[in-house]
Structure 1
Amino acid sequence: MGSIDRYIFRTTLASFALILVSLTGVIWITQALRGIDLMTSQGQTILTFLGITSLVVPALVLIISPIALMIAISHTLNKLATDSEIIVMNAAGLSPIRLFLPFFYATCVVALLVAFIAAYLAPDGMRRIKQWDAEITADVLTNILQPGRFAQLDQNLTIRIRERQPGGILAGIFIDDRRDPNERVSIVAEHGEVVKNETGSFLVLETGNLQRFEAGKRDPALVAFGRYGFDMSKFSNQGRDVTLGIRERYLWELLSPADNDPVYKQIPGQFRSALHDSLLAPIYPFAFAVLTFAFLGAPRTTRQSRNFSIGGSVVAVFGLRMAGFACSVMAVKSPSPVLVQYAMVFGAIGVGLWMIIGGVVVEPPPGLMEAINRSNARIARLFGRPATA
């Protein structure tokens, strides 16, 4: 790789990284705000909130990476054109396909990243989200117990809490336990917290008193305690099995699902659609890169021509991606859209390479150029400035 190649390669990847981080950060914030109830209504800590919401980042990167690559290549080519570097390289005998090589190397890096995310990282993150969410929502201590309400956990067990405090602390706890027919236990505590270990789940109460009314006795037994553990393992379902959906399956699980998989038996079409989406994920960056370079890689002499090419590349890339999404949806019911999707992606790569090798220059129609020039002239006369081409 020569000095020019290294310069273009570094510029493209640096722009790609900046754009990817920026877009992912913005979209992640909008997604994270939806899970803010983890801290407010369910009493989870900020670390739990950040941990769960950050697991969706690989799935976001999977979608954003090809678009970020397209923007990075457009930026790099526009920078080279603005500085007249493309014209100089073309005059020095550098062919378009030779100029495309450093962009191809950068695309290979992005494709490897996307392949790893699609095959393992994104499904693993979604799987962890589902398992983590199941542990939170299945536990009555964080889901059913709401401040100010009497929660009937069992036919003869009632619990009420006054409020939830930061760090998962429960304040103003009342427990009425009548599960044992021979006695009734009433507990009042100032504070408490949930403790989970290998033996089960416990509501550890602090600074309170316990009243035990035994059958056949007139007076209750009253005990004041500083710390008391109330067993809640029966009502905690953190060990239950979690049924994995399509998005939580690794690539190899989509390739060969188990014959007795209930999800596969119910929706085999979604397995097919998800499998081919994962296989095509690292191919889309190549299609986007080829199309973008085919529109913008040729030397330009006018600003209108460059702007038209930028618009054309955006339409081509987003049209290809939207058509791919449509094929993915239709592939759930029929396998034929999958073939159409492969044909579109590889056809776009083939057409783009033909344009690059053949030196095809995408120019706006003459009529459009005349209309733009007339419009620029009218604007220039209106504001008293000379029109520019």
Structure 2
Amino acid sequence: MAPHGRRVRPSGAAGASVASMPLIERYILRRVATVFVVTLTALVGTVWITQVLRELDLVTAKGQTIWLFFVVTLLALPSILQIVAPIAFMVAVVVALRSLNGDSELAVIAASGASGKAVNRPVLVLATIVFLAVALLHHVVSPAGLGALRVLITKVRADIIATVIKDGGFRSVASGLTIHIREKMPDGSFRGVFVSDDRSPDESIQYTAEQGLLLENAAGAFLVMKDGYVIRENRTARSNNVVQFDTYAFDLNQLTGSTTVPFYKPRERTTLYLLSPDPDDSYLQRFPERMTAELHDRMTAPLYTFAFALIALAFLGRARTVRQDSNLAVAAVVALSLALRGAGFAVVGAASGSAAALALMYVVPLAGILFGALALFGRARLRTPDALQNMMDAAGGVVDRISDRVLPPQAGSP
């Protein structure tokens, strides 16, 4: 092993902090960072797959390309990362510290005379890096990605042409409106057009035509049908009316909406906009608390990274010789961290409806940081209570006696 005081020449300001660490600290940092990358990749991949399945409608129902499908899912990726990264960091610290304890490396570090700084410093350095990355995601990357996604989705919904010109199959282009085109000809015209309009509760209309054409002009988009019939069913009067036509223009502008301007939600706004929103913003006028809650959530969400780090170090940062004690410490870290983050999500939801809960958005993560710091730097050893340890030992003894009676003795055993 290289000498404890060995140094590597830093290549820059970022590398100076890591390079100035003793060898054992760089070793722990590398262990935690490796587990963090693996865990983050697994969690993000799992959540991303769920996003992919949700957006399959763009390809199957809206007739869009597979390329657009992947662009949409990738634009949503930063919003997934900002939520998953602190959880992945907590898992990485727990796994790495438990592994170090199980391999007796924490005990060797303590026996060598090294202070708790040898374990605490690399974890807190990585926590700072993750904190800055999560803050960058919350304030810059995720709003930009979600804003671009909103623009893209708005264009997709307005792109009626891409929705209706696909031949074969029945396509639901709106609630209660279905269009079927039997065949698209090389010149762009259609053969065999069927439109079913059930959007009105009082009337059902079906259009059938031998030919059709999609027409766009200054007035908008129209599906022009030729040589067909209109079948109107009056549900109130229970009567049917059939009308033959030579040419009929079905208005598609009603499907695109009156405007193609994106309607942004708070998560899709930049932090600068949330700090000074437009007073005429319709969303701000309807839900001012949600805009404020989103701004404060961006300020407080990265703080959970430090809370998780300090709680994990307080429970697992020192060597533990009792296996049950170590397992309970891991369970305590996971339970406390998840409860803390769950409380954070609940407070954000409460603050979205009431400004009175805004202060709690800061109280929850800061309380976790304070608890972890007091337990860690206050030299308080968090261990399993004696009563609980005795109960676990007694339960283990009962299990051993039952297994001895039920399981046959192994060959060669006394």
| TM-score by shorter chain over 0.5 | yes
Judged with a 3 Å threshold, the aligned counterparts in structure 2 of structure 1 residues 262 and 151 are, in CA distance, closer, same or farther, namely closer
In structure 2, C-alpha distance between the alignment counterparts of 1:279 and 1:95, rounded to whole Å: 33
User: Hey, what does 2:85 align to over in structure 1?
Assistant: 65
1:72 is matched by which residue type in structure 2?
A
- One-letter amino acid of the structure 1 residue matched with residue 306 of structure 2: F
- Check the 8 A contact 1:135/1:238 in 2, yes or no: no
> SS in structure 2 opposite 1:283?
helix
CA distance in 1, matches of 2:191, 2:23: 70
In 1, Cα distance between the equivalents of 2:264 and 2:181? 36
Q: How does 1:199-214 map to 2 (within 5 A)?
A: none
On the 8 A contact 1:77/1:296 being kept in 2, the answer is yes
Q: Report the equivalent of 1:162.
A: 181
1:102-181 matches, cutoff 5 A:
102-143=122-163, 161-162=180-181, 172=191
1:326 maps to 2:328: no
Q: How does 1:1-389 map to 2 (within 5 A)?
A: 1-143=21-163, 161-162=180-181, 172=191, 188=211, 240-384=260-404
Residue 242 of structure 1 and its aligned partner are, at CA, apart by 0.9
Question: Which stretch shifts more, 343-352 or 333-342?
Answer: 333-342
Kindly indicate whether the alpha-carbon contact (under 8 Å) linking 1:145 and 1:161 is maintained by their aligned counterparts in 2.
no
Structure 2 Cα separation of the partners of residues 195 and 5 of structure 1: 69
Task: Evaluate the alpha carbon distance shift between residue 13 and residue 172 of structure 1 in structure 2; reply closer, same or farther with a 3 A threshold.
Answer: farther
> Distance in 2 between the 1:56 and 1:117 partners?
12
Matched with 1:224 is none
Contact 1:118 1:278 in 2 (8 A): yes
Task: State how far apart, in whole Å, the 1-side matches of 2:365 and 2:328 are.
Answer: 23
Mapped partners of 1:148, 1:116: distance in 2? 45
Residue identity in the other structure for 2:339: G
> 1:266, 1:57 → 2: CA distance?
28
Identity across the alignment (%): 29
Worse-superposed segment, 351-360 or 59-68: 351-360
Distance 1:132 1:316 in 2: 40
Q: 2:263 is paired with a residue of what secondary structure?
A: coil
Residues 290 and 353 in structure 1, CA contact (< 8 A), matched pair in contact too:
yes
TM superposition shift of 1:344: 2.6
RMSD: 3.9
Q: What is the CA-CA distance between 1:336 and the residue it aligns to?
A: 3.3
Residue aligning to 1:226: none
Instruction: Output one character per residue of 1:329-371: Cα deviation in whole Å (capped at 9) or x when no partner.
Output: 1212333322223123222212211211222222122121112
Structure 2 residues without counterparts, runs of 5 or longer: 1-20, 196-208, 228-251, 410-414
Q: Secondary structure at the match of 2:181?
A: strand
CA contact (8 A) 2:266 2:290 kept: yes
- For residue 219 of structure 1, what is the aligned residue in structure 2? none
- 1:85-104 CA-partner distances (Å, limit 9, x unpaired): 11111122222244211001
**1:180 corresponds to which residue?**
none
Question: Contact between 2:165 and 2:181, CA under 8 Å: does it hold in 1?
Answer: no
State how far apart, in whole Å, the 2-side matches of 1:303 and 1:26 are. Answer: 32
Change (3 A) 1:290 1:260: same
Return 65-74 or 41-50, whichever deviates more: 41-50
Between 299-308 and 39-48, report the one with greater CA deviation: 39-48
Q: Is the 8 A contact 1:103 1:289 kept in 2?
A: yes
SS of the residue corresponding to residue 82 of structure 2 reads: helix
**1:238 and 1:266, CA in 2 relative to 1: closer, same or farther beyond 3 A?**
closer
Length, aligned pairs only? 345
Q: 1:188 to 1:105 in 2, by over 3 A?
A: same
Indicate conservation of the 8 Å contact 2:59/2:69, yes or no.
yes
The range that moved more, 326-335 or 58-67, is 326-335
Letter in 1 for 2:379: G
* SS at 1:281 equivalent: helix
TM-score (norm 2): 0.73
| Contact 1:161 1:170 (C-alpha < 8 Å) held by counterparts | no
Q: Distance in 1 between matches of 2:253 and 2:140?
A: 34
Q: 1:179 — aligned with what?
A: none
CA offsets per residue over residues 240-282 of structure 1, 9 Å max, x none?
2111011111111111212222211221100111011101122
When the two structures are superposed, what TM-score results if normalisation uses the length of structure 1? 0.77
Secondary structure at 1:135 match in 2:
helix
Deviation, 1:70, is 0.3
Whether the 8 Å contact between 1:288 and 1:317 is mirrored in structure 2 is: yes
Deviation at 1:170, TM superposition (A): 9.3
